């Protein structure tokens, strides 16, 4: 479908990739991006002139505006980003989701909500059919997980009670060019240290596992769910073939960078204080998205890391320090 499309958080790491793909598809007659630049480190000049870019809090969007589709991504992100919003993360996430719901209800828009794998709140291999069990561990990461889970339920309940056309995606560990090290994400942190020959800080013993998925695959999954996913359903989007321990990841990035950086094992609570909570295994089952939409991720971890490495090598701001 497409037509008039709104992407909230459309200048963020995932949102900008999604916006570019929506424009490339050609069926978006008018793309509006709203973003308050709270997590943007990327160059979005290529989007200027092709999209209406509104630098503002999405809560200020006029609710009489009509969009055929809304992709709602605006949210605090990243382990460090979350810490910075401690105490107001859940309220923000829920308030933003309510705004997205009101816009979609008023305009009759198809709404896609980008939630988070954090809603599983526990370790293991995550399947959408399993009821979430969020352990009661105090801290900002829990507040984030509970905010995202509450937003999902809020939207699903509104969709059941009113005329709201909804789909939900839970992305698992997106990586790619222009991800922010400053927000705490591991891949840019390791590259930025590795390219300077500095130690790669591995938290704990490095045996925690993630299944990383390139942002182009995440964006493709989001669009596939919006186009072909079933209404009021929740879909994991990630790459189950890219499982690695964090220590293995550090070794791969060290050898790509080739500057002889050592691995330094650190206790993250010494860096960020006791509010830092580790999530151990986060591995998605993505069979539902594949069955319902035909989408499957394409990029291997090796290819994704190669792309990110080339991107860093070509960035003038990084070239200045390596």
Long-range contacts of 163-166 (CB under 8 A, 24+ apart): 163/105, 163/108, 164/101, 164/104, 164/105, 164/111, 165/104, 165/108, 165/109, 165/110, 165/111, 165/231, 166/104, 166/110, 166/111, 166/112, 166/113, 166/231, 166/232
Q: Please report whether residue 208 would count as binding ligand UDP according to CB under 6 A.
A: yes
Judged by CB under 6 A, the residue of 94, 279, 290, 322 near ligand UDP is 279
Which residues within the stretch 158-177 sit at the binding site for ligand UDP (CB under 6 A)? 173
Q: Is 180 in the site for ligand UDP (CB under 6 A)?
A: no
**DSSP three-state, residue 174:** strand
Binding flag, residue 83, ligand UDP (CB under 6 A): no
| Min CB(88)–ligand UDP separation in Å | 19
| Residue 71 sits in the site that holds ligand UDP (CB under 6 A) | no
Task: Confirm or reject binding of residue 201 to ligand UDP (CB under 6 A).
Answer: yes
Residue 140 beta carbon to ligand UDP: minimum distance, rounded to whole angstroms? 12
Distances (CA, A) of 293 to 14, 154, 220, 285, 286: 20, 24, 11, 14, 11
* φ/ψ (deg, to 5) at 282: -130, 100
Among 85, 254, 282, 288, binds ligand UDP (CB under 6 A): 282
At closest approach, how far in Å is the CB of 133 from ligand UDP? 18
Smallest distance, ligand UDP to C-beta of residue 306, A:
19
Cβ–Cβ < 8 Å for 179, 125:
no
Q: Is 246 in the site for ligand UDP (CB under 6 A)?
A: yes
Stretch near ligand UDP under the rule CB under 6 A, chosen from 33-41, 46-54, 158-166, 195-203: 195-203
Please check whether residue 184 is in contact with residue 293, taking contact to mean a CB–CB distance below 8 angstroms: no
Interface region with ligand UDP, contact rule CB under 6 A, candidates 100-108, 214-222, 276-284, 301-309:
276-284
CA distance 142 to 19: 29
Q: Give the residue with the Cβ less far from ligand UDP, 107 or 188.
A: 188
For residues 225 and 167, the answer to whether their CB atoms sit within 8 Å is yes
Q: Which residue has the tokens 């309940």?
A: 157
Nearest approach, Cβ of residue 121 and ligand UDP (Å) = 12
Given the rule CB under 6 A, which residues bind ligand UDP? 79, 173, 184-186, 189, 201-203, 208, 210, 246, 268, 278-279, 282
């Amino acid at each position: 479908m497409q037509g008039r499309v709104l992407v909230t958080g459309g200048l963020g790491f995932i949102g900008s990739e999604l916006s570019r793909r929506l424009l490339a598809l050609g069926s978006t007659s008018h793309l509006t991006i709203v973003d308050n630049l709270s997590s943007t480190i990327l160059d979005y000049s290529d989007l200027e002139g092709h999209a209406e870019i509104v630098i503002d809090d999405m809560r200020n969007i006029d609710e009489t505006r009509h969009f055929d589709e809304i992709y709602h991504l605006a949210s605090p992100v990243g382990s460090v980003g979350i810490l910075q919003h401690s105490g107001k993360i859940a309220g923000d996430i829920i308030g933003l989701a309510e705004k997205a719901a009101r816009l979609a209800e008023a305009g009759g828009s198809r709404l896609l909500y980008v939630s988070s794998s954090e809603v599983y709140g526990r370790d293991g291999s995550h399947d959408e059919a399993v009821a979430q069990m969020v352990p009661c561990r105090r801290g900002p990461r829990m507040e984030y997980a509970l905010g995202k889970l509450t937003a999902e339920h809020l939207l699903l309940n509104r969709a059941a009670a009113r005329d709201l056309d909804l789909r939900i995606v839970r992305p698992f560990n997106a990586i790619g060019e222009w991800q922010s090290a400053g927000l705490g994400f591991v891949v840019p942190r390791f590259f930025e240290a590795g390219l300077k020959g500095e130690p790669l800080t591995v938290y704990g013993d490095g045996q925690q596992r993630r299944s990383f998925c390139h942002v182009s695959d995440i964006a493709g999954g989001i669009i596939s769910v919006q186009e072909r996913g079933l209404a009021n359903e929740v879909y994991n989007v990630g790459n189950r073939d890219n499982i690695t321990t964090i220590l293995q990841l550090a070794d791969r990035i060290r050898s790509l960078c080739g500057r002889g950086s050592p691995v330094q094992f650190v206790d993250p609570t010494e860096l960020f204080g006791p509010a830092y909570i580790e999530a151990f295994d986060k591995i998605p089952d993505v069979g539902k998205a594949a069955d319902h939409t035909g989408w499957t991720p394409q990029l291997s971890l090796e290819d994704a890391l190669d792309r990110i490495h080339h991107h860093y090598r070509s960035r003038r701001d990084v070239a200045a320090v390596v």
